[in-house]
């Protein structure tokens, strides 16, 4: 992909600004795209899922939420596949 591709421009602009704003005590193990909330305001990620009424997508939404919860439980654990299989078998 050419350097003029918008993705490259956005990472150059935002990545370099984040690197400049980085505090001295932070090291390279801490991602530069995570920002601290200095005003102590509460922010949350909101998911908006648009489904047409009576569509097949709306029936899959519950399964998708369960899969996401199992993924979050298993993420970072040893032998993830075994844990996911166990959770799906016993909690479904």
Mind listing the pLDDT tens digit for each residue in 50-92? 777 777 877 788 888 888 888 888 887 888 888 888 888 887 6
Give yes or no for a contact between 70 and 87, defined as CB atoms under 8 angstroms apart.
yes
Q: Is 62 left (phi over 0), alpha (psi -120 to 50) or beta?
A: alpha
Residue 2 has pLDDT above 60, yes or no: no
Q: Average the pLDDT over 44-49 and give the result.
A: 76
DSSP state of 30: S
Question: Pick from 65, 68, 73, 64: which is nearest to 82 by CA?
Answer: 73
């Amino acid at each position: 992909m050419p350097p003029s591709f918008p993705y490259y421009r956005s990472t150059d602009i935002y990545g370099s600004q984040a690197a400049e704003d980085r505090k001295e005590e932070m090291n390279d193990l801490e991602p530069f795209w995570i920002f601290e909330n200095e005003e102590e305001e509460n922010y949350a990620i909101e998911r908006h899922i648009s489904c047409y009424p009576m569509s097949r997508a709306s029936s899959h939404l519950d399964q998708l939420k369960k899969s996401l919860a199992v993924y979050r439980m298993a993420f970072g654990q040893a032998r993830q596949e075994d844990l996911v299989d166990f959770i799906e078998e016993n909690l479904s």
